[in-house]
Amino acid sequence: MSAPVKIAVSNGTTNGATNGNTNGALNGATNGATQEVNGADLKKMKNANPPKVYIGSPHKEFNPSSNDSMDGNQFPADPLQCRIEPYSPYNSCTYEIVQSVAEFLLSRVTIRPKIGIICGSGMDGTTGCLADALTDSTSFPYETIPYFPTPTVPGHMGRLVFGYLGDVPVMCMQGRFHYYEGYPLWKCAMPVRVMKLVGVTHLLASNAAGGLNNNYKVGDIMIIKDHINLLGFAGNNPLMGPNDERFGPRFPAINRAYDYSVRRMAKAVASEMNINNIVHEGVYSVVGGPSFETIAEIRMLAALGVDAVGMSTVHEVITARHCGMTSFAFSLITNKSVTDYESYEEPNHAEVIDMGKHREPVLKEFIARLVKKIEHDRQQSK
């Protein structure tokens, strides 16, 4: 799938073509607003069949063009006139845009979650995943949410789900966005800002990672205590561009990104579940992907003190900390990183998905217990 494109809405008549997904004219008068959408979104704007939003279990379908409570005002009634603007790494998603997305969601749910969860590769599949464990749920396919990107990676379903995990209200991303999909980092992390304006105070992020630490086995869980942001070393950060103080400061401190008290709770949960033998605490490093790391790169990361490596999470946590949210993250070790030039082993995405499915029952219980502890602590702190 090609990268998203920024669409500037003008008052004139233009012809819009997008990455081979959509061709032709989108004619009409508009107010000069700017949206960033991908090719699939443009196709949807032209499509007479409205997108659907799903509620409850079993899901109830709502027609966004009807007068029901999910009236789908994410796009103007008149067709857009568009021109394609260049990709930019700088954040063009304003506070007002993020606020409009949050209001779109809040107007369609009664739940007011304080905990947001991001499910990583292999942990957000079509069956048995954490999102399916939520009760009284309302789910939004990403393509029905204004300004949201859509995931293109196998193992990332693409739904935002509101519901109760036990008796705790949460919102859960069933699938995330990656830099290697062609999205700039700020776009990958934009849903975290949406969570913030929805009212979320705590972010829990999971990911699939390759294990570098020789003490880690495939299927182990690593609580992240710190990270090395290689993308940031290369000058790529989700906070690049003009800063809006309504989100957070220009230069946020990240040295305490992974909250100590929540990490302590997670270790207590591991003890309660009697899984201490598979739970560790370590340092995570993010790389751009989608290619897996070379042996030389893995050896370098190990020398730097990295315990696990993956292609996500760090930019989400940076964005959460910038917003003043409490952050926690963990990695499921889905493969051992290859460090021997004589080895014929090759990492692959299939093993990531398989191990995620294998560990899903343990991870669901681990997260559910942790969410309960966080909510209890949050209530006690009021």
Starting from the edge strand earliest in sequence, which strands make up the sheet with 5-9, in order? 34-37, 5-9, 82-85
Cβ–Cβ under 8 Å, residues 134 and 124: no
Tell me the one-letter amino acid at 320.
Answer: A
Unique residue bearing structure tokens 């949410």: 145
CA–CA gap between residue 204 and residue 328 (Å, rounded):
5
Which residues share a beta bridge with 172? 117, 161
Antiparallel, parallel or unpaired: β 115-119 and 168-174: parallel
Which residue from 340, 191, 376, 367 is spatially nearest to 275, judged by alpha carbons? 367
Neighbours of 299 (CB within 10 A): 14
Three-class secondary structure of residue 376 per DSSP: helix
Q: Give the H or E element holding residue 285.
A: strand 279-286
Cβ–Cβ under 8 Å, residues 202 and 326: yes
- Residue 188 corresponds to which tokens in the numbers above? 């990958």
CA–CA gap between residue 277 and residue 320 (Å, rounded):
30
| Residues involved in catalysis | 121, 156, 178, 180-181, 208, 311-312, 335, 349
Burial of 136 (0-12, 13-18, 19+ CB in 10 A): middle
Angle among Cα 261, 263, 266 to the nearest 5 degrees reads 115
Unique residue bearing structure tokens 């942001």: 229
